[in-house]
Amino acid sequence: MNSHETGSESTQEPFGKPPAPETPQQSERIAWEWWNMLSLSLHHVMLRLAWIFKTETVIMPAFLDVIAGAGWIRGCLPVLNRISQSVAPVLFSARLRNAPRKTVLLMQSSFLMSALFGALAAFCSQLGSVEMQWLPAAFLMIYALFFASTGVNQMCFNTVQGKLIRAHHRGRLMSIAGMAGSLVAMVGAWCFLTGWLAVPDGRGFMWIFGFTSACFLGAGLLISLVHEPPDEPGNSESHPLRLFQNVARTLKTDQTLQRVAFVAALFISTLLLFPHYQWLGRTRLGAGAADLMIWVIVQNLSVGIFSWLAGYCGDRYGYRIVIRCEMFALAMVPVIALSLAYSLTPETRGWYAFTFWLLGLTPVTIKTMFNYVLELVEEEHHPHYFSTLNICMALPLFFSPVVGWLVDWNTTLVFTAISLIVFSAALLTFRMHEPRDAGEKPAH
């Protein structure tokens, strides 16, 4: 039985002064660390440019409103998003752990993400000219496959940075990639997004999704710049049933991960409202295409700034305190969105963009949690721990279609309930272990 399956304590790296290299492979990684940090940053920048044209809080639900419209269908987006991101990494975790070069899977998953959005762009070219009653179902299928690829892609990226970037430099990678990615993405959205969203009958989504596909392709190609020393081929168990059994066993025996997983499961309920923030702004305040573009830019700017702050503080103080602050802030977002939507007028609706500024904390918090998990166990167990955490974050999203239906019935009640759940997650961070505390060991 491996240590990650039994929940045994892991050896923690000392922080402050970087440890001296012990093997030729470690020396090679350190020699190439800054080059790899730059290469991974360029990959992340291209991903962020792609992502701004498919923002989950604005673009994707707006597209679904064009081809469908019902709240319960919008509510399918978070559940497909998180479940696909959670199941696929578990199934691919052993393959990633066994692979001598992790960057190969990172590149392949980026190419698959590109192909799926290319197919979606092709479908959108027929909007307004051909009756396509099947398009909502096809879109949801592509959406699920895309996020399965995204889950594998994120697991690969985190594993690669865990392998190639030392712990006290990972926040720097997060800061550089976040800020640069936000700036590039905002310029792209400002130049193209408003015009494409204004094309009648939703045909502009062909250009939006086509551009997204091209950016994912570019992100995959940039991975070829990364210098990764090969590992010895592994022989980890890859049977799907045993992989899920290992997830359950780890959660049962590892108390440190139990606490993180429970916090993550409560926190991720914030995604249940993601498709509904733009709906609230459009229905209550009469927001249009220009407002959608502004919301996308504001959210991406906040991701960059919060990434820089979280990365700096994470390197300096550890990621537990960063996660705590992020969650307390996110607990206020649903209440703030309600207050703005019901107090502003169509003439003053510009202030509603503050909601999307705060929503930029969500992807940063997810990234922060993965960086926290990187420090809990040795490098070889990273794929398993990432996939285990992903599974836990999927569970609340099963309620997403019900939440979508309830939002149509009583918006205030649902938004307030989610706010309280996220606030509870923030309180529970006080029970999480701090890996950098030399005087404290995880309780198992």
Q: DSSP letter string over 51-110?
A: HHTT-TTTHHHHHHHHHT--HHHHTHHHHHHHHHHHHHHHHHHHHHHH-S-HHHHHHHHH
CB of 185 closer than 8 Å to CB of 300: yes
Q: Specify the pLDDT at position 72.
A: 64
Q: Specify the pLDDT at position 69.
A: 59
DSSP E strand stretches across 127-283: none
| Residue whose tokens read 């697991």 | 155
Residue type, 199: V
Task: Mark 126-160 as b/e (b = at least 16 C-beta within 10 Å).
Answer: ebeeeeeeebbeebbebbbbbbbbbbbbbbbbbbb
**Average pLDDT per consecutive 10 residues, the chain (444 residues; last block may be shorter):** 41 44 68 89 92 79 74 71 81 83 92 94 81 82 91 89 82 83 86 81 86 95 91 67 77 84 90 83 82 84 88 86 94 94 88 91 89 80 79 77 80 92 94 70 42
Vertex 54, ends 53 and 58: CA angle to 5°?
100
* CB atoms near residue 31 (< 10 Å): 12
Q: Whole-model pTM? A: 0.70
Q: Specify the pLDDT at position 330.
A: 95
CB of 249 closer than 8 Å to CB of 91: no
| Residue whose tokens read 């609706």 | 349
Homologous superfamily, domain 3-7+23-431:
MFS general substrate transporter like domains (1.20.1250.20)
Task: Specify the length of the chain in residues.
Answer: 444
CB of 18 closer than 8 Å to CB of 166: yes
Strand, helix or coil at 8? coil
Gap between the Cα atoms of 46 and 216, Å rounded: 7
- Of the candidates 236, 273, 253, which has an alpha carbon nearest to the alpha carbon of residue 402? 273
- Of the candidates 385, 328, 292, 307, which has an alpha carbon nearest to the alpha carbon of residue 96? 385
* Nearest-10 crossing angle of helices 289-317, 274-285: 140
For residue range 373-424, list pLDDT tens digits in order. 888 877 777 777 877 887 888 777 777 777 878 887 888 999 999 999 999 9
Q: Which residues contact 325 (CB under 8 A, 6 or more apart)?
A: none
Query: Could you give the residue ranges of the DSSP H alpha helices within 352-410?
Result: 353-359, 361-374, 382-394, 400-409
DSSP 206: H
Q: Specify the pLDDT at position 338.
A: 93
| Residue whose tokens read 């990432």 | 386
Gap between the Cα atoms of 33 and 347, Å rounded: 51
Gap between the Cα atoms of 415 and 266, Å rounded: 14
CB of 105 closer than 8 Å to CB of 96: yes
Gap between the Cα atoms of 311 and 293, Å rounded: 27
